[in-house]
Structure 1
Amino acid sequence: MPLGTLDRTPPPFFRQGTPALTKLVLCSALAVFLMAADNRLKLTQPLRAAVATALLPVQRSLMVPVNLSYTGIDYLRGLQRAISAENSVRRLMASQAERAARGDQLALENTRLRALLDLRPALQVKSISAEVMYEAADPYSRKAYIDRGATHGIVLGAPVINEAGVLGQVTRVFPLNSMVTLLTDKDAAIPVLNARSQQRSAAFGGAAGGLLELRFMAGNADVQVGDKLVTSGVDGVYPAGLAVAQISRIDRKVDSGFAHILLAPAAAIDGVRHVLVLEPLSVQLPPPPEPAPTPAKPSHRTKAGAKPSASGAAP
């Protein structure tokens, strides 16, 4: 083979075109130009919108199985929660029905026992709904004003309660509003009954931290933390059985004959908006009997020289 016919060109693998550095510079410049054009001139926005519009059906079709799986899982979870809630509500309704039946039975039994013992029927307490307008600005007292007064039937000394328990007592009555002294006031006091031990005592306001204080209790009294105190009903103001407070702390001091007992109010004093004003029990109770007249004592004085008779009177 003659030497002139040989192909002396390098193979394609060793062929070199544009230098790599030049390509890098050109691609970088093109990328910077496209970014500036897209950011400043918005040149690629129509292209991007057209591509997004074209790919939207494909994207939605691909998301259908994912959405179905999520929807199915949420449906099964919601169904399970609904079944659990229904079962709990059914149990609660069954227990409430049992309590209602038991309460009706106890009320009937109470009526029969009162008739058997010839006692007066239980007092029916009347109530008036009211709304708290504002609290007194005095920082050293706890008083609130309600939008019901003498024209609405509010009387002095009426108990004020809400759904949780006793809040206080009406201490001043105006024609269109009334002032309520709350249980936490320093001048407030209420007779209470320990629901566990059936021991009577008196709770006073004014303790630190918005608490009540159970005073005049012996150091060895049968009281425990967590005992619930209710109204005793013997004061002629509060109906019996209303929740008042719960014992939160007991300090039995050796050097003192009384225990220091703090109570947490059953009804939240702060943030109360709607209340019920009850009629005092003294309005329905019969008046106290008048004291019998004391008989006149016989006179032991006699006239001078006269002798007393056998009955002790002068002749």
Structure 2
Amino acid sequence: MPSTMDHQHPPAFFVRGPSPLARLTFFAAVSIVLMAVDARLHYLTEIRQGVSVVLHPLEVAVRAPVNAFLYVNEYITTQTNLVHENRQLRQRALLDSADLQRFRTLQAENAHLRNMLSALPAMPQPARLGEIVHSGRDPFSQKVIVNLGARHGITSGQAVIDELGVVGQVTQIYPLSSEVTLVTDKDLAVPVQIERSGLRAIAFGNSRNSAIDLPYLPVNVDIQVGDRLVTSGIDGVYPAGLAVGKVVQIDRKTYAPFARIACVPIAGIKTHRQVLLIPAAENVPPLPEPEKPSAKPSKKSPRNAPRKP
């Protein structure tokens, strides 16, 4: 007797429904109908708005990783650009600072040259414009080297001035340069005159204090603090009237035969690089004298001339 179990089949694993083509056709037709109704009657507008409100948090959550990646990428790019631009701006600022310093130096030199050139018409002697190359090698002397020498027509003994007054005197000549002894050097003496009183004296340099002294003047000499010293012009080296120094201290002691008078130089001894070199008065060619009218012989005969026979 056959068992009933032999005629039973196992149940199907998947329940078969409509075919895929039928489902595609159905949903396509429903979609077309909904689009036509929505386009004509606008019934689904509120539904779409409600669905968008409900799905907005989901959209934000889905787009959060992308937004975070874009933000991080933009931050890194911006940071890199800022660092690069900051480095470039720092370099540019340093270059601009160096250019500004050079501009200020050139501006000061230009003003200094203008002041010196404006003083040229008042000088009866021709002057040469020179530039200080470096200071002297002896630390115990007050000397500088200028870039004009024997090949430029410079001779020993020429006065060196700037737009303020006397700087020094040429004491050594080289082919392409010259050594200038400053008025503050102990070995240089300048004949001066008190501008206020007209008193003549000899000014000597004081290398220790970079000053000028007026020795060998009596205690009761007519001189005051603030008096200006100008060149007297009696030595034939310095033109008369050039500023040399200003009196800053007078020490009058009754037991001392002479007064101690200290002065400071007026010229820019250690401040400017451009100077004027003036030839000594004895080296300047004299002005041509006007021609005198030649004496014509008189046509009249002298009174004591013998008569012709």
User: 1:207 and 1:149 mapped to 2: Cα distance?
Assistant: 25
Q: Is the 8 A contact 1:123 1:284 kept in 2?
A: no
CA deviation string 1:189-245 (max 9, x = no partner): 100011000100010012532111001111000000000010001111000010100
Shift of 1:45: 7.8
Shift of 1:155: 0.8
Aligned amino acid, residue 204 of structure 1: F
Name the SS for the 1:155 alignment partner.
Answer: coil
State the number of aligned residues.
176
User: 1:150 and 1:134 mapped to 2: Cα distance?
Assistant: 18
In the TM superposition, what are the counterparts of 1:78-93 in structure 2 within 5 Å? none
Q: Is the 8 A contact 2:165 2:244 kept in 1?
A: yes
User: 1:203 and 1:166 mapped to 2: Cα distance?
Assistant: 12
Root-mean-square deviation (CA), in Å?
Answer: 2.8
Corresponding position: 1:187 with 2:187? yes
User: 2:141 and 2:165 mapped to 1: Cα distance?
Assistant: 20
Q: Is the 8 A contact 1:143 1:180 kept in 2?
A: yes
Shift of 1:175: 1.2
Name the SS for the 1:282 alignment partner.
Answer: helix
Shift of 1:279: 1.1
Q: What TM-score, normalized to structure 2?
A: 0.53
Which residue is equivalent to 1:130? Answer: 130
Which residue is equivalent to 1:79? Answer: none
Which residue is equivalent to 1:262? Answer: 262
Name the SS for the 1:191 alignment partner.
Answer: strand
Shift of 1:259: 0.3
Which residue is equivalent to 1:244? Answer: 244
State the identity %. Answer: 45
Which residue is equivalent to 2:55? Answer: none
User: 1:123 and 1:180 mapped to 2: Cα distance?
Assistant: 20
Name the SS for the 2:264 alignment partner.
Answer: strand
User: 1:123 and 1:283 mapped to 2: Cα distance?
Assistant: 14
Moved over 4 A (4+): 41-46
User: 2:125 and 2:147 mapped to 1: Cα distance?
Assistant: 20
In the TM superposition, what are the counterparts of 1:51-130 in structure 2 within 5 Å? 124-130=124-130
CA deviation string 1:225-284 (max 9, x = no partner): 000010001111000010100001000011111100000000121132000000101213
Name the SS for the 2:282 alignment partner.
Answer: helix
Q: Is the 8 A contact 1:160 1:278 kept in 2?
A: yes
Q: Is the 8 A contact 1:132 1:275 kept in 2?
A: yes
Larger of the two Rg values belongs to structure: 2
User: 1:145 and 1:207 mapped to 2: Cα distance?
Assistant: 17
Which residue is equivalent to 1:168? Answer: 168
Q: Residues 182 and 123 of structure 1: is their aligned pair in 2 closer, same or farther, counting only changes over 3 Å?
A: closer
User: 1:254 and 1:42 mapped to 2: Cα distance?
Assistant: 95
Q: Is the 8 A contact 2:195 2:229 kept in 1?
A: yes
Name the SS for the 1:151 alignment partner.
Answer: helix
Name the SS for the 2:151 alignment partner.
Answer: helix
User: 1:196 and 1:123 mapped to 2: Cα distance?
Assistant: 22
Q: Is the 8 A contact 2:183 2:189 kept in 1?
A: yes
Q: What TM-score, normalized to structure 1?
A: 0.52
Which residue is equivalent to 1:139? Answer: 139
Q: Residues 123 and 185 of structure 1: is their aligned pair in 2 closer, same or farther, counting only changes over 3 Å?
A: closer
User: 1:241 and 1:285 mapped to 2: Cα distance?
Assistant: 21
Q: Is the 8 A contact 1:246 1:266 kept in 2?
A: yes
Aligned amino acid, residue 208 of structure 2: A
User: 1:199 and 1:215 mapped to 2: Cα distance?
Assistant: 13
Q: Is the 8 A contact 1:218 1:257 kept in 2?
A: yes
Q: Is the 8 A contact 1:146 1:180 kept in 2?
A: yes
Corresponding position: 1:220 with 2:220? yes
User: 2:193 and 2:159 mapped to 1: Cα distance?
Assistant: 17
Which residue is equivalent to 1:272? Answer: 272
Q: Residues 42 and 236 of structure 1: is their aligned pair in 2 closer, same or farther, counting only changes over 3 Å?
A: farther
Q: Is the 8 A contact 1:207 1:213 kept in 2?
A: no
Q: Residues 254 and 207 of structure 1: is their aligned pair in 2 closer, same or farther, counting only changes over 3 Å?
A: farther
Aligned amino acid, residue 184 of structure 1: T
Structure 1 residues not aligned, in runs of 5+:
1-40, 49-121, 287-315
Which residue is equivalent to 2:204? Answer: 204
Aligned amino acid, residue 187 of structure 1: D
